[in-house]
Amino acid sequence: MIFQYAFGCMNLNIKFSLNLTILLVLICLCSFAQKEGLNWYFGRNAGLKFHNGYPEPTTGQLSTTEGCATISDKYGNLQFYTDGITVYNQEHDIMQNGTNLYGDL
């Protein structure tokens, strides 16, 4: 009787572990389609692109020691990037109305 109770509890743990594993695998499979993070611009005119699965150095217009943001579309195409003060487009030109944003205050 004790063995049967212990085996029943173990069976529930196995079912929970199996369900959790399946859920994590499905989440991982869905996350591979996310290419919004392929472009990074930061620091003093520095940048990285991850389009071939490994980092490739590139340059941008940012010159900051503080926070910055890079936005790409779902295909990994750069849309714009900013240091919070100035916003640059994919051609590395300042966007219209993209200056004096006071993002450093």
State pLDDT tens for residues 56-89: 999 999 988 888 999 999 999 999 999 999 999 9
Q: Which residues contact 82 (CB under 8 A, 6 or more apart)?
A: 62, 68, 69, 88, 98, 101, 103
Amino acid 47: pLDDT: 93
Q: Model-level pTM greater than 0.85? A: no
pLDDT at 57: 94
Whole-number Å distance between alpha carbons of 47 and 45 = 7
The pair of structure tokens assigned to 34 is 């996310």
Q: Which residue has the tokens 């520095």?
A: 46
49: Cβ contacts below 8 Å, ≥ 6 apart: 38, 39, 40, 55, 56, 58
- Report yes or no: 40 and 59 within 8 Å, Cβ to Cβ: no
Bridge partners (DSSP) listed for residue 94: 88
4 has pLDDT over 60: no
Q: What is the pLDDT of residues 41-60, one digit of tens each?
A: 999 999 999 988 789 999 99
